[in-house]
């Protein structure tokens, strides 16, 4: 797959990141937590709202990697990523993204840990997206968007979010 020109522009090195010297790394203010992914949605985004009415969308993104095994045969592995968006970006994702759509996502990695009802320790790792770009051209799989807005659930329709899901 060729990298779209819009993506090449988005991936150019940022001057402020290039100016971090080796002596500065590890002092807290210069640490970087950034994830950049290009992949396809595994299913339509799920839309919910925080108790104060902020929209939240979650969806899974699949990224593929191809390599040759020891016999020289191509092997494809798929990695699944949980993506979470808030506010205006969540509104855009909830309105335009559908299963199979090719997108670019940039954000930070967050891992949460908790104990389930049986006392087992559980954890999840997710990408809190700060930017999303749709990469499909018109007519490609997942690129068509309905002119009608689907009805979105209202705040509290599914009950309030657990406090663990709120990023603040």
Q: Report pLDDT for 136.
A: 84
CA distance 121 to 7: 38
Write out the residue range of the structural domain in which residue 95 sits. Answer: 33-142
Output phi, psi for 7, to 5 deg: -75, -40
Interior CA angle at 13 toward 136 and 17, to 5°?
130
Output phi, psi for 111, to 5 deg: -115, 130
Say if pTM beats, i.e. exceeds, 0.85.
Answer: no
Is residue 8 included in any domain, yes or no?
Answer: no
Nearest by Cα to 84 from 4, 6, 161: 161
Q: Strand pairing of 121-134 and 46-49?
A: unpaired
Is residue 99 included in any domain, yes or no?
Answer: yes
Q: Report pLDDT for 25.
A: 55
Is residue 58 included in any domain, yes or no?
Answer: yes
CATH label of the domain that carries residue 111: 2.40.50.140
Low-confidence ranges of the chain (pLDDT < 50): 1, 4-10, 12-13, 15-20, 142-161, 166-168
CA distance 2 to 89: 26
Q: Give the model confidence (pLDDT) of 77-124 as tens digits.
A: 999 999 999 999 999 999 999 999 999 999 999 999 999 999 999 999
Report the domain count for the chain. Answer: 1
Is residue 87 included in any domain, yes or no?
Answer: yes
């Amino acid at each position: 797959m060729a990298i779209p020109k819009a993506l090449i522009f988005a991936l150019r090195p940022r001057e402020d990141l290039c100016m971090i010297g080796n002596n500065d790394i590890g002092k807290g203010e210069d640490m970087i937590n950034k994830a950049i992914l290009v992949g396809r949605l595994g299913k339509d985004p799920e839309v919910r709202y925080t108790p104060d009415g902020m929209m939240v969308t979650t969806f899974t993104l699949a990224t593929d990697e191809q390599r040759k095994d020891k016999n020289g045969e191509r092997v494809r592995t798929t990695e699944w990523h949980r993506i979470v968006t808030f506010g205006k970006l969540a509104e855009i994702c909830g309105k335009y993204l559908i299963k199979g759509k090719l997108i670019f996502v940039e954000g930070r990695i967050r891992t949460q840990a908790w104990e389930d009802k049986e006392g087992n320790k559980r954890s999840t790792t997710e990408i809190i997206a700060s930017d999303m770009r749709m990469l499909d051209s018109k007519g490609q799989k997942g690129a068509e968007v309905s002119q009608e807005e689907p009805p979105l659930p209202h705040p509290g329709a599914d009950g309030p979010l657990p406090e663990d899901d709120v990023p603040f």
